[in-house]
Chains A and B, each alone.
Chain A
């Protein structure tokens, strides 16, 4: 837009003299200190609240989620080398969404698109590597592909105060409900019912649901029109055509020697500098035999160039990760130890590509779920697979000692056997910490009622993929 015009308008947007004078007057007055009884009341209220919350937490411990896995033997040893299609596809105009969807996001997005929770679970158990870009592409594709896709008047939509009330009733925060009201969210009532059955009241899940609903809605005339929900067959066909699954197979044509060498160089550098740095989230080789390095936190361009220099190759792509490899290894160790003590452990490995620990158990108890929930408060660092076949365990294949990016092989439950990294560096940081991006505490206002949102999510999964494989 015309900069001169905007600049002129901006200069005119000043508060009135009366407002300024009133503000200066108010600032000149001394602040009133609350009377002692008010302090005492506040402290007493806090104490009651704390006792209530702690008591509740003690009685109702949060439980960790898990997936039942009936084909364990077929999919067990996929952790060491996981390949996925990593082409950046801006499908649906959401170019920054080429992040692998977490299971929670995919589950919410699928219910948002009209799939049932059971269908979502079935699909998740298939191991498809769905990304946000591919998901939007699928939605647009099925939307365009359905003849007479616009739904009839029999499809009920939720909007306005009704939707905000439904959000509140479902246990989501008031802030989200208010956002729904202000931003005019709408949703298909049937999809909403389906989403509610997930019983996931995290903002992340609701956002994934809402985003999917937004794509499905035709806003051309401002009236919500929903497409006929896509079918499972369509999704599976799309997945077979567009997505890769954790098969461990590489593109036969691709030459990965350069990537393996680059990875080796990077590991050598880490070995020389005392271990994995906090920014390093892992690495894997994609289907084009390119090395992808996961980094934690926002980084400058020079930083990525430095990694290229360390690896001796510029054929490296970058992707964002929430957890550092050090953190994953620590959680892997703790989870494996805890489950071993309970006699539930089949294996435990780090999936570097998906930036999580994968834990295979031969059963699940409430105590185990509570322990895992403590290790994984956000329910996204440990993926638990519970075998329905308790004899499904087979020993991990022998490693040839070569360096191979992608993950740590799963650990069998031999007493005293701790998960070992399969590559350099030797020295692990004994006290790795979950990295925190520089966040600004925007919530610290005097008036807590004003807080509408969490300020910055340092682990926002929508950050784009950088590097030579991105098209952005």
Chain B
């Protein structure tokens, strides 16, 4: 992978290309709303480019983006405005190309918040348990426990399909 400048602000399209999946996907997993995920995507990258931060390395940048994404999602999902208002139009559901992909996503989204995001980060973003714990401010043991319980719940919901092991 081509190294990018560690100072936020340069190589704008490259940064977006590299991390848009992570930022948007995490926001989608957290909010389960494409519209909200789009909002988070914009806000995170705006914050990134306006921060003018200099990162230690690529992992630092990735961790920063991930953390900022989760923080923005929290702000959106817990805002009093959101809790006290109802949208005029129903948000479009997340749709994938294949039916089994929709099935997996629905199962994931039906899990409690505590399990959903760790599972998403572990399986979809391929983060290690340590990284999951760090991103979600959990103790490593707690992250492992949630992954383990979440995996079991997911396995029950999907009746064991889609699991390699």
Contact = CB atoms under 8 A, between A and B. Distances in A.
Interface of A: 1-3, 5-6, 8-16, 18-20, 22-23, 26-27, 31, 93-97, 132, 178-179, 181-184, 207, 211, 438, 440-442, 444-447, 449-456, 460, 462-464
B51 A456 contact: no
Given A2-B164, A20-B16, A27-B12, 13 more contacts: A5-B100, A5-B104, A15-B20, A20-B20, A23-B41, A26-B46, A93-B148, A184-B112, A445-B68, A446-B51, A450-B47, A450-B71, A452-B74
B164 A12 contact: no
Nearest to B129: A96
Given A26-B42, A446-B47, A12 B97 contact: yes
B50 A446 contact: yes
B75 A449 contact: yes
Interface string B65-109: 001101110110110000000000000000011101100110000
B101 A8 contact: yes
B145 interface: yes
Contacts of B45: 23, 27
A109 to B, nearest CB: 13
B113 interface: yes
Nearest to A443: B67
15 contacts: A2-B162, A5-B104, A16-B34, A19-B39, A93-B145, A96-B139, A183-B113, A183-B114, A442-B64, A445-B47, A445-B51, A446-B47, A449-B75, A450-B74, A455-B67
A137 B7 CA distance: 48
Interface string B136-161: 01011110110010000000000000
A450 B78 contact: no
Interface string B18-32: 001100110010000
Given A5-B101, A31-B50, A452-B71, A14 B24 contact: yes
Closest 9 CB pairs of A and B: A19-B38, A453-B137, A13-B25, A450-B71, A15-B41, A442-B67, A462-B139, A23-B42, A96-B141
B96 A450 contact: no
Nearest to B158: A1
A18 B35 CA distance: 11
**Residue from A15, A179, A460 whose CB has the most chain B CB atoms within 10 Å:** A15
Given A10-B25, A184-B113, A447-B47, A19 B101 contact: no
Contacts of A445: 47, 51, 68, 71
B50 A9 contact: no
Contacts of B38: 15-16, 18-19
B63 interface: yes
**Residue from A93, A446, A456 whose CB has the most chain B CB atoms within 10 Å:** A446
B27 to A, nearest CB: 9
Contact of B78 (A8, A15, A178): A178
Given A12-B96, A23-B45, A445-B71, A6 B137 contact: no
Contacts of B49: 27
Nearest to A31: B50
Contact of A6 (B47, B63, B124, B140): B124
Contact of B46 (A15, A23, A95): A23
Contacts of A460: 139-140
B145 to A, nearest CB: 7
Contact of B163 (A2, A13, A444): A2
A9 B42 CA distance: 21
B78 A22 contact: no
A22 B63 CA distance: 24
Nearest to B161: A2
A452 B137 contact: yes
Contacts of B132: none
A272 B48 CA distance: 48
Given A178-B78, A456-B134, A15 B51 contact: no
B75 A450 contact: yes
Given A9-B96, A13-B21, A446-B51, A178 B104 contact: no
Given A19-B41, A23-B42, A179-B137, A450 B72 contact: yes
Given A13-B25, A444-B51, A446-B47, A184 B114 contact: yes
